[in-house]
Amino acid sequence: MTNRVRIVTVALATVVGVVGMKAIPTAQDVEDTPVAHVLLLSVDGLHDFDLERYIANNPQSTLARLSEHGRTYTNASATKPSDSFPGLLAMVTGGTPRSTGVYYDDGYDRSLAPASGLCVPGARVQWKQNLDVLPFSFTTTIDPLKLPRDPADGCTTRVYPHQFPRVNNVFELVKAAGGRTAWSDKHPAYEFLNGPSGTGIDDLYTPEITLNPPAITTTNSFALTMAYDDMKVAAIVNEINGFDHTGTTRAGTPALFGMNFQAVSVGQKLKVELVATAPPLTGGYLDAAGTPSDGLQATLDHTDASIGTMLSALDEQGLLESTLIIVSAKHGNSPIDPATLMRVNPAAISTIVNSVAPGLALLSADTGPLIWLQDQRTTDAVVAAFNESMTNGGNPARIARVVAGDDLKALFPDPLTDSRTPHIILTPIPGTVYTTSGSKIADHGGSSEDDVHVALLVANSSMTAKTIGDAVETRQIACTILKTLDLDCGGLMSEEIERSKFLPHSNHKDAILK
């Protein structure tokens, strides 16, 4: 591995459009030229068909211009479970929960103790707004007293988010090679990107997306979520311009940086705008074909314009040719077809579990329920209860399949020996969302096509526009980032448990010229 990130000088080229990519007449598709910067963008919720439709209907859009100088992967899968934490970890560690040990942002660890109370192993571990210093209106600070504790030292040590993933990430490797790193996301708990070393991110900006009552939570409004994304876009532009995210301290453009967009995900999940002074938009899809509602269309347009702002900043700084841009999604959202939506109270699951083994440790539901039991010896009995409810009990929890035992161990470590693996994973009937909210019309977390078939576009001005239909995984983004920065993905700890590889190149035998 090289001892520093390579800085590549690329010749001047002509401009395609006002904020388009620059075209370099070259025949270098055999091996991608290393670059100096990688900008990773997670447009949460963005499906492959969303990207395809948007480009087709908006040929002058930023995403369309990116695709003219990029590889579009039409068969990309996010992690299963499809939650934000494992979804982003896949992109930056190259691993699934099998190696990261992270299944959800709301999970359970049988080796840790709760933040307070008795120093007894077995704790719910939440990595979101529950950790924030109050009041948490756009706070970026974690309250240490809310963190789980380690019983191994008498519960004197608090476990920070970055200590929870079991493997390192690309930010740590890039920084060790001499590159600057930065990231922006929706909770202070995203300091988990610092990795086990605790030092992966030089410039972390994580304004809390959840607001205290009585204010309307950001994600209950298309308008508020788009404005929230604008704060992070401004941070990225400041970093492109060579400053830290505040725009006040000269720091240099990061070698690896990026952010997540929330607006499209809210556009898919929120039934109707809840801010009285905002335009009365509605969310979700209009039909099984995925026609966007006015609210979803507004969030797509806003996100496209935001990416255009970043491209303009890169162009103004002369960094467009030396930057690889990756657009993907931590997860999709389901259901796409509004006719299949069925909201189910999560209590329908808890009731079945507690009828056999009272004292359910934890249930994380959404669209792919994960179940941790207090007593592991009751797993078989609980599975039998679920099967009975499906066969003779009217199936109140709308379960299609119960994954446990050998089926579960084929996917993840054995819960009898691993402290974090759930005992049971439920696959619901398509269209099921476990919620008590009347305003939620979609969510994520499961393993359905709607949850995991996400967009993936890798672009740089030196690339030829091509479409690759091979089955790929978003966890291949990690190796792709490292290879592009002339680093070795063998430095990823996840490689020891589940091998990955970089995404197929433009010269791949199944690539299709656009």
pLDDT (0 to 100) of residue 16:
30
Rounded to whole angstroms, the Cα distance separating 212 from 439 reads: 18
pLDDT (0 to 100) of residue 358:
87
Is pLDDT at 511 greater than 90 in this prediction? Answer: no
Is pLDDT at 18 greater than 80 in this prediction? Answer: no
Q: Binning pLDDT at 50, 70 and 90, where does residue 27 land?
A: very low
Is pLDDT at 314 greater than 70 in this prediction? Answer: yes
pLDDT (0 to 100) of residue 512:
45
Are 220 and 438 a contacting pair, CB within 8 Å?
no
Tokens of 313: 């900043």
pLDDT (0 to 100) of residue 15:
27
Rounded to whole angstroms, the Cα distance separating 204 from 258 reads: 10
Q: Which of 196-200, 234-238, 318-322, 461-465 has the lowest mean pLDDT?
A: 461-465
pLDDT (0 to 100) of residue 6:
37
Is pLDDT at 24 greater than 70 in this prediction? Answer: no
Is pLDDT at 304 greater than 60 in this prediction? Answer: yes
Q: Which residue has the tokens 């308008």?
A: 223
Q: Binning pLDDT at 50, 70 and 90, where does residue 31 land?
A: low
Give the three-state DSSP class for 372: strand
What proportion of the chain, given as a percentage, has pLDDT over 70? 91
DSSP 336-402: SSGGG-EEE-THHHHHHHHHHSSS--EEE-BTS-EEE-SSGGGHHHHHHHHHHHHHTS--TT-EEEE
Mean pLDDT of 472-496: 95
Instruction: Name the pTM for this structure.
Output: 0.93
pLDDT (0 to 100) of residue 137:
79
Backbone angles phi, psi at 214, to 5 degrees: -90, 5
What proportion of the chain, given as a percentage, has pLDDT over 90? 87
Q: Binning pLDDT at 50, 70 and 90, where does residue 214 land?
A: low
Q: Binning pLDDT at 50, 70 and 90, where does residue 23 land?
A: very low
pLDDT (0 to 100) of residue 212:
65
pLDDT (0 to 100) of residue 213:
64
pLDDT (0 to 100) of residue 129:
93
Tokens of 361: 């440790």
Q: Binning pLDDT at 50, 70 and 90, where does residue 34 land?
A: confident
